[in-house]
Each structure stands twice: as structure tokens, then as C-alpha cells.
Structure 1
Amino acid sequence: MKRFKQPVRPPRDKDRTPLVRASALLLMAGLLYLLWPSAETAYLAMESVIR
């Protein structure tokens, strides 16, 4: 039984998963930073409705 080597991918098809994860994390952090005041206001409003 022969073992076949896995096909070698050209350099342009590099695995970009770490880059995608890092950029998504930065994007989420930026959105959280931008939306934090409105989220805090919504939380306080909800808390005052519950009481």
C-alpha cells in the first residue's frame, strides 16, 4: 500500500485563519468600544424598568 503525499499548496493559498481571527477580534473590540455607552444606557434603562 502506497502512502500518498498531501498536495503541496502554492504560497498564495496560505492558511489565513490566524489573520482572520485576529482581525475579527480587533473588529469586535472596536465595535464594543464604540457601542459601550449605548449598551450601558440600555442596561440601566432595562434595570430601571425591572425595578
Structure 2
Amino acid sequence: MKKLIMIGSLVFSLLLLVLFGVTGDGAALAYVLLGLLVSFFCAMLLMTDK
């Protein structure tokens, strides 16, 4: 489940980053950072699993 959330949030962040590149709307950057934060948190959780 953590892998699915991590990959989903990375894809979401990439899509929003493309949207920001096309439109130049700075409001999308907050959601890009939020998606990257979620994927980072999931990656750290995956690293601590044994």
C-alpha cells in the first residue's frame, strides 16, 4: 500500500509540474511540494521496514 501511495503521489506531482510549466500558475507549486512530501514520507517508511 505504501508503494502505491508513493508512486501515485510522484505521478501526481509530475503531472502538476507539467501543468505549472504549461500555464505558469504558481498555485500549482504548493500541490507539487505536497505530493513530493508524501512520496518522501512513504519512501522513508519503506526504508525502515524489515
Name the TM-score class by shorter chain.
0.3 to 0.5
Higher helix fraction (1 or 2): 2
Name which one, 1 or 2, has greater alpha-carbon Rg: 1
Q: Which has the higher contact order (CA 8 A, sep 6+)?
A: 2
TM-score by length of 1: 0.44
